[in-house]
Amino acid sequence: MELTHLWGILFISLHAMVPITLAAIGETIEESAGLFNIGLEGILLFGALAGALGAQASGSALVGLLTGMGVGALIGLVFGTISTSLRGSQLISGVGINLLALGFVALMLSVMGAPGFHSVAREVQVPLIPLGVGNLSPLVPITVAVAIGVWWLLRRTQLGIWIRAVGENPAAADVAGIRVNRVRLGAAVAAGVLAGLAGAYLSIDWFGAVTKEITAGRGFIALAIVVFSGLNPLLALLGGFIFGFFDGLATWVATYPGIKDIIPWQFVAMMPYVVTLAVVAGMIGRVRFPSALGVPYLRE
């Protein structure tokens, strides 16, 4: 195998790492605070559409990314409100967000013309950094920075202690003067921002298009990575890279002559999902989650 192929696989892996890791880090913040959001997939999808529309309306990729983050924040706010002050079911509202995203994005795609597909002009896509051996998206270093930053936030700051306190023992946190629902709502919005950014990255950076299937289960893979990481953003980055590698390998193998004749592409496409299962199955047991995860806090 030539060296260029190795570089190719590395770059695809890094690019595949970005959306899964960003969404997983957002979910890490949220789960640390005690909220379990299975609507990540839907937020990614909303973010993908919003990113594309924002970039096209403004002519700027940066505005596109910000639009994705804004819409993600809005969905996070809806989820957070239902899960805190409205005392709703987190699992049911997560399913609702996924369904709503699927419907709304498909509706927008059919209203905008070609049903099911909307391509984003190259001029408004995120410009790549030329590195000689390949072009790298600026979102790759940003993702690494976000992982380090959130690790620092959760483990080394007062806010991080608050977030973990409301996830671990909301009643005690309440007595200590922490506004439980407000911290949880903030965590849900932060998670929405990161998942929205991940979605916008899919449409205006990595794929350059919006489709109904663009997220392809990445929101759920991100949930699996959160399990793998044990709520440590740095391990989430590592997990994201491992899954990104298999995602990238699948893309690469599917197009590499010689291999694609031996292994049918469908089996290659299954790889990221099989690896997710295997890794999660191998990791459980040594991971401990916040005691109050998924439980709405009601003041007695």
Query: Which residues sit at the interface with other proteins, rule CB under 8 A?
Result: 38, 78, 82, 86-93, 95-104, 106-107, 109-111, 216-217, 220-221, 223-224, 227, 264, 266-267, 269-270, 273-274, 276-277, 280-282, 284-285
Nearest distance from residue 183's CB to other proteins, in Å?
A: 20
Nearest distance from residue 257's CB to other proteins, in Å?
A: 19
Residue 31 · residue 231 · CB < 8 Å: yes
Nearest distance from residue 277's CB to other proteins, in Å?
A: 5
- Whichever of 62 and 112 has its CB closer to other proteins, that residue is 112
Residue 144 · residue 20 · CB < 8 Å: no
- Whichever of 171 and 216 has its CB closer to other proteins, that residue is 216
Give a three-class secondary structure readout of the chain. CCHHHHHHHHHHHHHHHHHHHHHHHHHHHHHHCCCCCCCHHHHHHHHHHHHHHHHHHHCCHHHHHHHHHHHHHHHHHHHHHHHCCCCCCHHHHHHHHHHHHHHHHHHHHHHCCCCCEEECCHHHCCCCEECCCCEECCHHHHHHHHHHHHHHHHHHCHHHHHHHHHHHCHHHHHHCCCCHHHHHHHHHHHHHHHHHHHHHHHHHHHCCEEECCCCCCHHHHHHHHHHHHCCCHHHHHHHHHHHHHHHHHHHHHHHCCCHHHHCCHHHHHHHHHHHHHHHHHHHCCCCCCCCCCCCCCCCC
- Whichever of 145 and 278 has its CB closer to other proteins, that residue is 278
- Whichever of 20 and 109 has its CB closer to other proteins, that residue is 109
Nearest distance from residue 89's CB to other proteins, in Å?
A: 5
Residue 224 · residue 28 · CB < 8 Å: no
Could you report how far apart the first and last alpha carbons of the chain are, in Å? 65
- Whichever of 99 and 133 has its CB closer to other proteins, that residue is 99
Nearest distance from residue 129's CB to other proteins, in Å?
A: 32
- Whichever of 70 and 296 has its CB closer to other proteins, that residue is 296
- Whichever of 32 and 93 has its CB closer to other proteins, that residue is 93
